Amino acid sequence: MARARLRDLGILIGRYPPGEHNAITDVPGVLVGHKTLIYDEPFVVRTGVTVVIPRDGNIAKDYAFAGWDALNGFGEMTGLLMMEEFGHLTSPVALTNTSQVGLVRDALAHFGAERHGGAFKIAVVAETYDGWLSDSDALPLTQRDVYDAIEAASSGPVQEGNVGGGTGMICHEFKGGIGTASRIVEGPGGPYVIGALVQANHGDRYTLRVDGVPVGREIGIECVPSPWSAPPKAGSIIVILATDAPLVAVQCKRLARRAAIGMARAGGLALDSSGDIFLAFATGNHYPHDARELVDLKHFPFRRFDPLIEASAEAVEEAILNALTAAETMVGQKARMAHALPLDQLQAIMARYRPG
């Protein structure tokens, strides 16, 4: 059965409408690029890098506002201290594997040095672990791969599943990877877009829920053939939330924290060995990197903030599920096989659990 997006299967999450592409790229100026490495020689490699680039690439000179949260900290995202201190996002955000988060970080910094006059010194790069499918000793990524992902970045529809940083990931004991979704909310000066992109590598099968339905428990562990003998139950998830609403830093942090809601509704628990790290940025305000005079901002009113909260939770929940419905079964190193979420079973279960 061909892979699909959740919404195309007739399964709708929440009450806010999605944007045009139901993707983080619905936020104006947000670009996404992937570089995917899949090959078997000399090492079995199933990895890559995904970049999320705000402001059509002009983030080096025109900072966005940002905040983050970590529901469980067994993971890495560089650049967190600077985001906390200044409330700004000053670089693209890259997602990759654990072993080479440093390489990607330096590459992103070097890209900023070469192309943007020394920017991106404190670059934001996060990781989840793909060493079950991909040989993590291979260290296959190069600076060139990171540049490729940046240069490939575009607006419009976003590839999901086994691409970029999500290539070798496992989610709720199915094949995971990259997923995205978006929501439109009303607000003063709006409407605004809330977009989410996840690199989903977390969760056990039993707790997976789709719109509240216990899909993971229903499918069970036994339904899939070997060699799915000992897949990783608890990995990590990175969530990037973006909006064009004019938020200040503390408001971005609020959105980042709501990623936990979306993850929980899909069955995530933030297990012990998980790195559940959430970043939210807002492009509606502008901070010139070299500002020496007072900068004009707009402050979104808190009394109208609730739709942004709910839409963030919805977008994250759907982005995770999109990663699952998009990702295809993959065979990796040592003949390990990560099974895709079977869409026919998914729909059969949903039908049973939904009143006629």
Restricting to residues 198-257, name those near a second copy by CB under 8 A.
206-207, 209, 211-214, 234, 246, 248-250, 254, 257
Helix (H) or strand (E) holding 198: strand 192-201
Rg value, the chain, Cα: 19
Does the annotation mark 276 as catalytic?
yes
Tell me whether the omega of the peptide bond preceding residue 355 falls within 30 degrees of 0, making it cis: no
Whole-number Å distance between alpha carbons of 328 and 1: 10
Name the strand (E) or helix (H) holding 251.
Answer: helix 249-265
Token pair belonging to 67: 């905040």
Closest distance to a second copy from the beta carbon of 98 (Å): 6
Asked if 61 is part of the footprint of a second copy (rule: CB under 8 A), the reply reads: no
Query: Under the criterion CB under 8 A, does residue 305 sit at the interface with a second copy?
Result: yes
Question: What letter represents residue 194's amino acid?
Answer: I
Nearer to a second copy, 148 or 160 (CB): 148
Task: Render 20-84 in DSSP notation, one character per residue.
Answer: TTSSGGGSTT-EEEEEEEEE-SSS-EEEEEEEEESGGGGGGTEEEEEEEEEEEESS-BTTHHHHH
The active-site residue, picked from 134, 236, 244, 312, is 236
Beta-ladder partners of 171 = 174
Least Cβ distance, residue 33 to a second copy (angstroms): 19
- Within 256-295, which residues bind a second copy (CB under 8 A)? 257-258, 260-261, 264-265, 268-273, 275, 277, 287, 290-295
Residue 68-107 contact track with a second copy, rule CB under 8 A, x = bound: --xxxxxxxxxxxxxxxxxx----------xxxxxxxxxx
Q: Evaluate whether 75 touches 263 at the Cβ level (below 8 Å).
A: no
**Cβ 248 to a second copy shortest distance, Å:** 6
* 344: contact with a second copy by CB under 8 A: no
Apex 131 CA angle, 40 and 34, nearest 5? 70
| 47 neighbors 169 (Cβ within 8 angstroms) | no
Binding to a second copy (CB under 8 A) within 107-126 occurs at 107, 109-110, 113, 121-122, 125
Q: Which of 99, 182, 274, 312 is catalytic?
A: 274
- Which phi and psi angles does 194 have, rounded to 5°? -115, 120
Quote the least distance from Cβ 90 to a second copy, whole Å.
10
Roughly how many angstroms between the first and final C-alpha of the chain, as a whole number?
Answer: 25
Pick the piece of the chain touching a second copy (CB under 8 A) from 134-142, 155-163, 221-229, 324-332. Answer: 134-142
Kindly tell me which residue out of 10, 17, 189, 227 binds a second copy, with binding defined by CB under 8 A. Answer: 189
Nearest approach, Cβ of residue 82 and a second copy (Å):
5
Residue with Cβ nearer a second copy (83 or 338) = 83
Report the residue number, 159 or 285, with the smaller CB distance to a second copy. Answer: 285
Interacting positions 148-187 with a second copy (CB under 8 A): none
Q: Annotated active-site positions, please?
A: 236, 274, 276
